[in-house]
Amino acid sequence: MNSDNLFEIAFNSASEGLLVVDKSGEIVLVNERMSYLFGYEKSEMLNQRIEMFVPRKSREKHVALRDGFIHDPHSRPMGLGAAGLKGQRKDGSVFPVEVSLNHFTQNGERYVLGLITDISEREKIESELRAAQNKLFKLNEELEMLVIQRTAELEKSQQLYEMIAKNFPDGVINVLDDKLNYIFAEGKELARFGIGSQDLIGNNYLERIQDPYRSEIGHHLNLALSGENQTCIITFNKNLYELNIVGIEGVNGLIDRLLIVENNVTKQKELELEQARALEREKELGQMKSRFVSMASHEFRTPLSAILSSASLIEKYEEKDQQPNRQKHTSRIKSSVSNLTGILNDFLSFDKLSSNLVECEISEVNVCNVLNYAIEEVSSLKKKSQEIVIEIDESKCIFNTDEKILKNILLNLLSNGLKYSKEDGEVEVNLEISEGILSIKVSDSGIGIPKSDQVRLFERFFRAENVSNIQGTGLGLNIVKKYTEILGGSISFTSVENEGTTFEVKIPEGEISI
């Protein structure tokens, strides 16, 4: 294969539109991609003015811009991140483009190399996250087809093709012999990393590949030599590169060379990853809303029904000797209201924590008083003969922490202890301050937590399999854990099914801001 054919393949394998114009703005060379982008046959574009690709209303202005560039040439991108730069197809339709210009001199004549990118899909991708992944996949397929595609009849010299390859953006065009040694290598990515193309000629391609990709790429190269086109992705200098590998047949019809187009796809992959994360967050949010609505409907129905029936029954007890019955239903109403309050508190706390709206305000707190207030609030939840037993050194009650957060932690742990304990059971509370650490232990002798459920105990909305007949939101322990972490502390537990559970929270002393 002569050098002209080699550079011809590299030129027509580019995934973007490439064209060369002379100093008068006349088109002297185009690749197949230009036909794809603008709908013209190659013969219709050659020897025509570059303005044939510019929308009619902008052509006169473009002539002046083109003349200015020819007289003062310098490499520059056009349209990057800006709105308004358009191309016009043969059928008159207009589409957004990005253009990169580079100039060079050949045999004393000045030429301009233009790289034209259709950015229609890029503009859509910002608003169509789901469609973006399919479009990116399609672009990769098109790139592979362009690498495989072989066309003929490029009428320029070897130097012109070298200039085209050297300006290949965001990648490198490589040609290897059947021993995987470099025959040709050009592209802007080489200059980016300070590598000269001549430094690679004659060297083995795999020497440039870092571990752990070397053996994998070697396998792909051998498959390509056997006639199987290959595509793979590697990491090099913290960038992701997609490699499209195609075998090149010699005069004997056997593959004796490889064409490798390396394309920097770091930004594309980052976008795909962000899209996947956004979709996963959206899916998780939808599931959470569904579970929230279902749970709220169920949890509010039970106490509201109890309140309604007790209120109706109280109306019937008009005699003085029926006071015990009235008190029974009054207590039932109070307990149901307390349950509703607990549910609402859980939902409010969960919403604030999920929205990162909880701010920690450290102050000097009497933890003994906070514990007494919490016990008083949950007293309506006590079943018959239930007791809360306190063990605390009242000479050591002052501690620097957030009083509201501490109270919420205690309320959740105490209400859980009462809820899951027997009617005549005890809930033991131990508060201890030692060496700048507040330790809180809440123990019950209730139903315990099945071992199989313990690993998921702090997940939001999770409820153990043995509490299905006991009212609850499945948020309490998740809230306690998040509150504890906000204070810089930790929570742990031990539990044996049908024997009871002990939760221990450890909170370090905070610093009061001045």
Q: Does domain 1-121 have CATH number 3.20.20.140?
A: no
Place 434 in a pLDDT band, splitting at 50, 70 and 90: very high
Which residues on neighbouring strands pair with residue 186, listed in sequence order?
A: 173
Tell me how far apart the alpha carbons of residues 429 and 431 are, in angstroms, rounded to a whole number. 7
* pLDDT for position 353: 59
Task: Tell me the pLDDT band of 366, cut-offs 50, 70 and 90.
Answer: very high
CB 449 within 8 A of CB 498: no
C-alpha 44/C-alpha 342 separation (Å) is 77
Mean of the pLDDT values across residues 341-355?
A: 59
Q: How many CA atoms lie within 13 A of 76 on its CB side?
A: 8
DSSP state string for 373-418: HHHHHHGGG--TT-EEEEEE-TTS-EEEE-HHHHHHHHHHHHHHHH
Kindly report the CATH class assigned to 359-514: alpha beta
Per-residue confidence (pLDDT) for residue 132, from 0 to 100: 55
CA–CA gap between residue 197 and residue 372 (Å, rounded): 78
Give the residue with greater pLDDT, 85 vs 247: 247
Neighbour count for residue 254 (Cβ, 10 Å): 11
What is the pLDDT, as a whole number, of residue 156? 47
Q: Which of 23-32, 114-123, 153-162, 166-175 has the highest mean pLDDT?
A: 23-32
Pairing between β-strand 490-496 and β-strand 437-444 as defined by DSSP bridges: unpaired
Q: Are 178 and 256 in contact (CB under 8 A)?
A: yes
pLDDT score at 445: 86
Residue 376 predicted with pLDDT over 70 = yes
Nearest to 241 by CA among 220, 225, 260: 260
Q: What is the pLDDT of residues 316-347, one digit of tens each?
A: 666 666 677 666 667 667 666 665 665 566 55
User: What span, in angstroms and rounded, lies between the C-alpha atoms of 382 and 186?
Assistant: 80
Residues listed for the chain: 514
Please give the pLDDT value at position 88: 92
What mean pLDDT is predicted for residues 177-181?
89
Q: How many CA atoms lie within 13 A of 477 on its CB side?
A: 23
Calpha distance 166→186 (Å, rounded): 5
Helix ranges (DSSP H) in 227-366 = 266-314, 323-354
pLDDT at 56 over 80: yes
pLDDT given at position 215: 86
Angle, helices 403-419/323-354, rounded to nearest 10 degrees: 130
Least confident range from 175-179, 182-186, 316-320, 364-368: namely 316-320
Strand order across the beta sheet in which 182-186 lies: 182-186, 171-177, 255-264, 239-249, 230-236
What is the structure's pLDDT at 108?
Answer: 83
pLDDT category at 417 given cuts 50, 70, 90 is confident
For residues 4 and 59, the model is more confident at 59
What is the C-alpha to C-alpha distance for residues 113 and 164, in angstroms, rounded to an integer?
7
Residues in CB range of 354: below 8 A, 6 or more apart:
none
Mean pLDDT of 5-16: 74
From residue 267, give the alpha-carbon distance in Å to each of 169, 177, 289, 390: 14, 31, 33, 60
| Mean pLDDT comparison of 59-73, 144-158, 175-189, 284-298, highest-scoring range | 175-189
Helix (H) or strand (E) holding 145, with range, is: helix 129-148
Lowest mean pLDDT among 67-76, 89-98, 408-417, 430-439: 67-76
End-to-end CA distance of the chain: 80
Would you state the structure tokens that stand for residue 471, as one six-digit string? 């009212």
| pLDDT band per the 50, 70, 90 thresholds, residue 151 | very low
Mean pLDDT of 438-453: 89
Please compute the mean of the pLDDT values over residues 416-421 and round it to a whole number: 85
Both tokens assigned to 473: 């939101």
Q: Where in the chain is the domain with CATH 3.30.565.10?
A: 359-514
Between 234 and 150, the more confident residue is 234
Residue intervals in the chain for CATH 3.30.450.20: 1-121
pLDDT at 154 over 50: no
Residue 38 is predicted with a pLDDT of 92
Q: What is the pLDDT of residues 65-92, one digit of tens each?
A: 777 777 777 665 554 433 468 889 999 9
Q: Is the pLDDT of residue 200 over 80?
A: yes
Sequence ranges of the chain with CATH classification 1.10.287.130: 273-357
pTM (two decimals): 0.40
Q: How far apart are CA 56 and CA 105, in angstroms?
A: 30
**Out of 153-162, 434-443, 494-503, least confident range:** 153-162
Q: What is the percent of the chain with per-residue pLDDT over 90, rounded to a whole number?
A: 16
Q: What is the model's pLDDT at position 446? A: 84
* Per-residue pLDDT at 310: 65
H or E stretch at 215: helix 214-225
Q: Give the model's pLDDT for residue 79.
A: 45
The fold of the 273-357 domain, in CATH, is: Helix Hairpins (1.10.287)
* Nearest one of 452, 443, 446 to 493, comparing CA atoms: 443
